[in-house]
Amino acid sequence: MSQKTINYDFMLAKAKREIKRLIKAQKTLKSKLAIDHAVNAASTVFHLIEWHQKKYYPNKKASRSFHICKHSKIEDFKTLHDIATFNKHATVTANLTGTFSSLSITEQISQIISENGEPILSETNSPLVTEDSKISVHFGDEEALKVLNNCLHAIETNNYLSSEIPFDVFKRSEEYSEKHLLDLAAEKLFSAKWLFLHPISFFSAGYLIHLTLELILKACCLHFKDQFPRSHDLCEILKILSLNIQLNEKDKGYIKEISKLQHLRYETMEIGTDADSQLNRIISSILNQMPEEFGNIWNISCVNLMKTHRYIPQRVFNDLSSQFSPFNN
């Protein structure tokens, strides 16, 4: 017996199959079957979102269906989330529609009756009904078929992601601040510069360089949008800032290369000194496009770190300060 491969195409076919079964159940006035197929279709389409991400964005970590539904520009995705999680999952993380999207069915059935007022029965002893009789499954206030077809069409046409941040996010209201992120960035940069003095430490230094840029870019996101994404991909974060920060093609190429260093969590790769040599220029290019108060926060973070120089051997400090331009401000 051959095993079935579960992938995007498999899940897409399953979703369409469940929707067809829902249509048939509604036409044949089978209420229980209609509800069952509606819930199965909702759950399948909900999980299809992540399979779509895996197929068409293979080099990008797939966002969870919950976060895509939350930030989708199509409201039906929020309803889809609530129906799928409330009816098919043991744990519900959030209610996206704000009100409970109840699962219900409406029935408009007219039985055919005899002259004496008795229902006319079929050969199987079922009541005969008029042609205009129908049942309809609802997700909240919307017809289930409308919600399912809208979401499925949006997935197939790749037209469901919002222009806003499609990731899980951290918000300013959760007590994050530009100062907090820039303090961390300066600390990582300081440590990276120290480690780059020793070739045996290049792996750790490269990882810290990635963290430095990630924290600076996230501080920029927080400044402009009051939130920053739960993502380690520098190119994705920079894309969110496309209206606020512009880098030339050379600097974008550097960012793309540095973004790969996030994988040093799990693997090794070749790290050269060029990863360090261009860093100050990139940081300056970013900071020069930010408001003055933002740059002042960065300078203060660096000055505060400067005060730790008494714990660093003079030779090491001299090497650091000669190449670490923020410390010279």
Please give the C-alpha separations between residue 300 and each of 181, 294, 303, in angstroms, as whole numbers: 13, 10, 5
- Residue 172, Cβ neighbours under 10 Å: how many? 14
**Structural contact between residues 12 and 48, judged by C-beta atoms closer than 8 angstroms:** yes
Q: Is the pLDDT of residue 104 over 90?
A: no
What pLDDT is recorded for position 1? 47
Extract the tokens encoding 169. Answer: 């996010």
Q: Is the pLDDT of residue 285 over 60?
A: yes
Average pLDDT over residues 82-101: 63
Among 68-72, 93-97, 172-176, which is the least confidently predicted range?
A: 93-97
Average pLDDT over residues 181-192: 88
In the numeric block, the tokens 């002893």 are attached to: 125
- Amino acid letter for position 126: S
Domain extent listing, the chain: 8-156, 169-328
pTM of the model: 0.52
What pLDDT is recorded for position 320? 59
Transcribe 115-129 into DSSP letters: TTSPBPB-TTSPBPB
- Residue 27, Cβ neighbours under 10 Å: how many? 12
Distance, in Å, from the CA atom of 19 to the CA atom of 296, rounded to the nearest integer, reads 57
Cβ neighbors of 242 (< 8 A, separation 6 or more) are: none
Q: Is the pLDDT of residue 58 over 50?
A: yes
Q: Classify domain 169-328 at the CATH class level.
A: mainly alpha
The helix or strand, by DSSP H or E, that contains position 136, with its residue range, turns out to be strand 134-139
Average pLDDT over residues 51-60: 77
Q: Kindly report the CA angle at 181 between 175 and 183, in degrees rounded to 5?
A: 120
pLDDT confidence band for 154 (50 / 70 / 90): very high
**Rounded (10°) angle between helices 178-195 and 314-323:** 120
